[in-house]
């Protein structure tokens, strides 16, 4: 039984709370939250752009800290979920790893590759698990789509498009998302989900070409692969609050199209050249529960097929920074 702590009880911290409370082989032993406004609001429903975060956080029987050093010194946990703003990911992760704790750190890994390298080095030196929360790699529809593409059953991929549309994330008490120096802006916070999945599905592209509005609250990127496929992804924080949230993709294979749109019913279909469209069987759970289960099993000492590595997460940060550079400078950027 591994003992887990959560550092940060904002929207994603409450998502991790929901998952850890139902995770076999783990107990949520401690939380750390320094913001009294956040602690005061734990009895009400959270604000966020997706469903699934806990409507109510009950800290009965869970040790509560307002200082990370005190949590670490207490010896009450074996692993931490770090769900803090991006700019503090490196220092918090390195501190936890040096203290001998396994770490699941939310995405993006950090604001730049150099900070990612510092986190990787600390994990290597400590011999502990470091997993970055790229939940889309674990999301059932995306995971099954990758398996189907890799199987070759419907031929090679020809093209793929990805969309991720949301209202601006203004629900945080100090709105750190709006500060690019702390969040990396929309491309590094929202768009990175699809950039990372494209990296996971097709490998790292050789170059990117992107366009964006000046604050990069909207970005559209083309990813170049010498032998194909043709790949485009767009994302935005500019949708009206009444719009809700959309994540979707179309993956065109030689003999089928894989379609997913969370706003439609059925949301997921495979449309073959011959025969009727169908929805494949999907694994149980969502991307958050499945990524936390993967991390918990690694932390407990199981040997598993890698889904996301720290270096891959580092390279995804490098990819998104290349997209931001391309949009800023109006030119194609090689990786």
Q: What is the pLDDT of residues 43-87, one digit of tens each?
A: 777 766 677 777 888 999 999 999 999 999 999 999 999 999 999
Give the pLDDT confidence of 291-300 residue by residue, as tens digits. 999 999 999 9
∠ Cα 43 44 45 (to 5°): 130
Q: How far is CA 322 from CA 75, 210, 225, 262, in A?
A: 41, 9, 15, 28
The per-residue pLDDT for 45 is: 73
Rounded Cα–Cα distance for residues 255 and 98 (Å): 50
Could you give the CA distance from residue 252 to residue 199 in angstroms, rounded to a whole number? 17
Report the DSSP beta bridge partners of residue 130. 103
Per-residue pLDDT at 37: 85
Residue 70's contacts (CB-CB under 8 Å, 6 or more residues apart) are: none
- CA proximity to 196, closest of 310, 331, 52: 310
Instruction: Outline where the chain has alpha helix (H).
Output: 11-21, 36-40, 68-74, 89-98, 113-126, 140-151, 180-183, 185-186, 192-202, 287-299, 310-329
For 67-74, which contacts have Cβ atoms below 8 Å and span 24 or more sequence positions?
Answer: 67/32, 67/34, 68/7, 68/32, 68/92, 68/95, 68/96, 69/95, 71/5, 71/7, 71/30, 71/32, 72/96, 72/99, 72/101, 74/30
* pTM (predicted TM-score): 0.97
Q: In whole angstroms, what separates CA 320 from the centre of its chain?
A: 13
Cβ–Cβ contacts within 10 Å for residue 181, how many?
10
Nearest partner of 192 among 50, 317, 7, 41, judged by Cα:
317
CB contact burial 151-177 (16+ within 10 A = b; e otherwise): eeebeebeebebbbbbbbbeebeeebb
DSSP 153: T
Sequence length of the chain is 335
By three-state DSSP, how is residue 11 classified? helix
CB distance 37 to 173 below 8 Å: yes
Q: Which portions of the chain are predicted below pLDDT 70?
A: 47-49, 172-173
């Amino acid at each position: 039984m591994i003992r887990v702590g959560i550092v940060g009880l904002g929207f994603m911290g409450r998502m991790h709370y929901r998952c850890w409370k139902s995770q076999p082989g783990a107990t949520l032993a401690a939380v750390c939250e320094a913001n009294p406004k956040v602690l005061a609001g734990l009895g009400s429903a959270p604000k966020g752009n997706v469903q699934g975060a806990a409507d109510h956080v009950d800290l009965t029987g869970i040790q509560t800290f307002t200082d990370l050093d005190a949590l670490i010194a207490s010896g009450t946990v074996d692993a931490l979920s770090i769900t803090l703003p991006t700019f503090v990911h490196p220092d918090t992760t390195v501190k936890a790893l040096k203290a001998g704790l396994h770490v699941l750190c939310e995405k993006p890994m950090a604001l730049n590759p150099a900070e990612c390298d510092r986190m990787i080095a600390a994990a290597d030196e400590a011999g502990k698990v470091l997993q970055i929360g790229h939940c889309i790699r674990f999301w059932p529809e995306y995971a099954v789509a990758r398996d189907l593409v890799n199987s070759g059953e419907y031929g090679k991929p020809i093209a793929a498009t990805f969309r991720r549309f949301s209202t601006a994330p203004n629900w945080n008490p100090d709105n750190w998302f709006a500060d690019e120096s702390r969040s990396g802006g929309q491309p590094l916070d929202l768009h990175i989900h699809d950039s990372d999945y494209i990296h996971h599905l097709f490998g790292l592209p050789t170059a990117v070409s992107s366009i964006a509005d000046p604050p990069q609250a909207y970005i559209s990127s083309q990813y170049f692969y010498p032998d194909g496929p043709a790949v485009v992804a767009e994302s935005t924080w500019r949708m009206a609050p009444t719009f809700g949230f959309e994540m979707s993709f179309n993956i065109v294979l030689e003999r089928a199209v894989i379609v997913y749109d969370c706003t439609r019913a059925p949301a997921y279909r495979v449309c073959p050249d011959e025969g009727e469209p169908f929805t494949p069987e999907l694994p149980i759970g969502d991307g958050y529960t499945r990524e936390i289960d993967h991390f918990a099993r690694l932390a407990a000492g199981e040997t598993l097929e890698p889904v996301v590595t720290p270096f891959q997460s580092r390279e995804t940060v490098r990819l998104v920074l290349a997209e931001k550079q391309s949009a800023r400078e109006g030119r194609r950027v090689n990786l």
